[in-house]
Amino acid sequence: MNTTENGAPAKDKPQGTAGSRLRALNSDVNWESSSSNIAKNDDLTGREIITNFVKQLPNSPGVYRMFNKDGTVLYVGKAKNLKKRVTSYTRTGIHNNRITRMISETAAMEFVTTHTEMEALLLEANLIKRMHPRYNVLLKDDKSFPYILIPKDHEAAGIYKHRGARKKDGYYFGPFATATSVNETVNILQRVFLLRNCTDNYYENRTRPCLQYQIKRCAAPCTGEISLQDYQGLIDEARAFLTGKSSEVKKQMSEKMLEASDNLDFELAAILRDRLSALAHIQARQGINPQTVEEADVFAIHMEGGKCCIQVFFFRTWQNWGNHAFFPRIDNEMNEEEILEAFISQFYDNKPAPRLILTSCAIEETELLCEALSSKMGHKVSIQKPQRGEKRELVDHAHSNARSALGRKMAERASQITLLEGLAKTFGLDHTPKRVEIYDNSHISGTNAIGGMVVAGAEGFLKNQYRKFNIKSEEISAGDDYGMMREVMTRRFSRLLKEHGEPPNHKDNDDFTAIVPWPDLVLIDGGAGQLSAVQEALRKIGLEDKLNLVGIAKGEDRDAGRERFFIPGRAPFSLPMRDPVLYFIQRLRDEAHRFAIGSHRARRKKNMIKSPLDEVAGIGAARKKALLHHFGSAKMVGEAAVEDLKRVEGISAKMAQLIYDHFHE
């Protein structure tokens, strides 16, 4: 569980001696290398290179890396005995096709020693996630999961959704599988326990209750509608509920309701009745709630057709807090046991591990993995493959979900590849595109202008590849869409050219799972004018005629289905109204439109609430707050004399002069 039952904050715990040494090992300066001059090894086979490398290796735990002739990492491995482990690669006739292929591609190796095999395991997971080696199991969707946070550093704590590093001192409850489930839980807990969700700054500046109090979603401790002592009681009830003491909380609430009813205080009784109803709702919607498992993560793997899905279910306080499906990149010659072992070690690299982990198949190095996770978390972590009972039912349920998710994924992927093939045929491409980039701009009369780029491939929309461009050029006049598009294209492809060189030919590459940096097709939201602007930008950076460009212009009356397509060297054309490829293109364009508009609105909102004090060098949140409290507004700060500014706590004579000069230039 990620919060302690005695109320201690569940913060990211230090990793102790092993963790300290591990952080030191993450720097490449510690690596012993055979790759100082890869070119010298051109006449040697991979097995011969490894044989020569073995002579340098010690008989101690550590991590090794294999490189190809281009210097790309092929594989990261850990070993209890480096010399013995790497020596096994020099033997013939004992390896499967995947390992044999990896050995043949090896041109150099590096290694680092560790104090223990456990440290080697943790370092291996870190390096795999950082370097994405081709022959390792790769956890691609490595997002952080959301938590519920109740801070400790405030007299009247609120309840919030939290994602990311847990640096704030407080009580963390989770993880939840999705942001939606956290939002729903927080909303219901607000209705039940009347906890605030406003910022501390908003809380401190209230003089009367806000709307949340009026709609009975907050007890309004900010204006004294409830005493701080009584409000702390509400916080304690919420914490008790989230730590699994829901029956006790409901019993106490029920007793208070009956007592209020007996005292003819029907208004209070009705409020308590509604709170009980909300608590029943939050428990009922959790789905399968185990009776014997207080806290566990359940991992189930299913393989089919060379693909793999791993379902992870989160159980906390005897409740199902959601699940998430992962589709790691694997080699089809790997078995379920080694895939799941590699996956779990990477999964908990940046996440807290519960006390119990249930798996659908046995893991070979269970003891080592338990020791590593226990050392990292500061409490005992157990990994089990249950054989019977409720725990087995939870694993079977997760496996059923994994099988269904993989079936849906494979069907969607097949459909997506068919649409990409249709895209290639429609636009006359010489191969099926593996990466499609779509561009759109968004602004209001030229203000807060944003360029948006979305990316699609065989796996659908690749949201971690999306990019937004704040239009920076002062030479672009307000509303100049062509100028904005030129700037976006120049910045995007100049950087791509610098980082990855000339666009490669993907024609002979059938791997649709790999993420390639260069697009096979670039779609522009706009007609001939936008397309010409893009061509002009690409011409200046030497990429003319090296990218497939298509402009998508809205048809007459801007009706969907009447789009006109503009391709350099071809006459404009349209597609039949019910062509599946047309629907696919519309979906791509609409996603780019949504992303660009959303980014523009976020930037506009940020600028609307921006204070003139934000532009003063040296003014942080604390000084800004002190100035506003003293003078009442940023305008009054700007009109203040130096002597008045010096009277504000935290403002020195030098800083007062700096503020005065900023507003009186």
Write out pLDDT tens, residues 640-659: 888 888 888 888 888 888 88
User: What is the predicted pLDDT for the residue at 557?
Assistant: 59
Pick the CATH number of 296-407 from 3.80.10.10, 3.30.420.340, 3.20.20.120, 2.60.260.20: 3.30.420.340
* Strand 436-444, strand 460-461: pairing: unpaired
How much is the average pLDDT of 29-37? 49
Contact 651, 627 (CB under 8 A): yes
Q: Which among 452, 455, 423 has a CA at the least distance from the CA of 439?
A: 452
- Could you tell me the residue ranges of all domains in the chain? 31-131, 147-284, 296-407, 428-606, 612-663
How much is the average pLDDT of 605-626? 75
pLDDT, one tens digit per residue, over 551-593 is: 998 866 555 667 889 999 889 998 888 888 898 999 899 999 9
Residue 455 pLDDT greater than 90, yes or no: yes
Q: What is the DSSP letter of 358?
A: E
User: What is the predicted pLDDT for the residue at 513?
Assistant: 64
User: What is the predicted pLDDT for the residue at 591?
Assistant: 92
For 586, 618, 634, 664, the CA distances from 642, given in Å and listed in that order, are: 59, 16, 15, 11
User: What is the predicted pLDDT for the residue at 215?
Assistant: 83
pTM above 0.75, yes or no: no
The residue count of the chain comes to 665
pLDDT, one tens digit per residue, over 311-343 is: 998 888 777 777 888 888 777 678 888 889 888
User: What is the predicted pLDDT for the residue at 142?
Assistant: 57
Which stretch of 173-182, 341-350, 437-446 has the lowest confidence by average pLDDT? Answer: 173-182
Residue 548 pLDDT greater than 80, yes or no: yes
SS3 87: helix
Same fold, 296-407 and 428-606: yes
Query: CATH assignment of 612-663?
Result: 1.10.150.20
User: What is the predicted pLDDT for the residue at 298?
Assistant: 92
Residue 610 pLDDT greater than 80, yes or no: no
pLDDT, one tens digit per residue, over 90-145 is: 887 778 788 888 888 888 888 888 878 877 887 787 788 777 888 887 766 656 77
User: What is the predicted pLDDT for the residue at 425?
Assistant: 92
pLDDT, one tens digit per residue, over 346-356 is: 888 778 888 89
How much is the average pLDDT of 484-490? 91
Look at 533 and 614; give whichever has higher pLDDT. Answer: 533
pLDDT, one tens digit per residue, over 240-271 is: 777 766 666 767 777 777 877 777 777 767 77
Residue 619 pLDDT greater than 90, yes or no: no
Instruction: Find all residues with CB under 8 Å of 184, minimum gap 6, and list them.
Output: 285
CA distance 496 to 441: 20
On the CB side of 643, how many CA atoms lie within 13 Å of its CA?
0
Work out the mean pLDDT of the chain and round it to a whole number: 80
Protein fold of 428-606: Nucleotidyltransferase; domain 5 (3.30.420)
Q: How confident is the model at residue 13 (pLDDT cuts 50, 70, 90)?
A: very low
- Lay out the sheet containing 356-359: strands in order across: 319-326, 307-316, 296-304, 356-359, 382-384
Q: How confident is the model at residue 38 (pLDDT cuts 50, 70, 90)?
A: very low
Share of the chain above pLDDT 70, in %: 85
Residue 4 pLDDT greater than 50, yes or no: no
Look at 521 and 628; give whichever has higher pLDDT. Answer: 521
Pick the CATH number of 31-131 from 3.40.50.2300, 3.40.50.300, 3.60.21.10, 3.40.1440.10: 3.40.1440.10
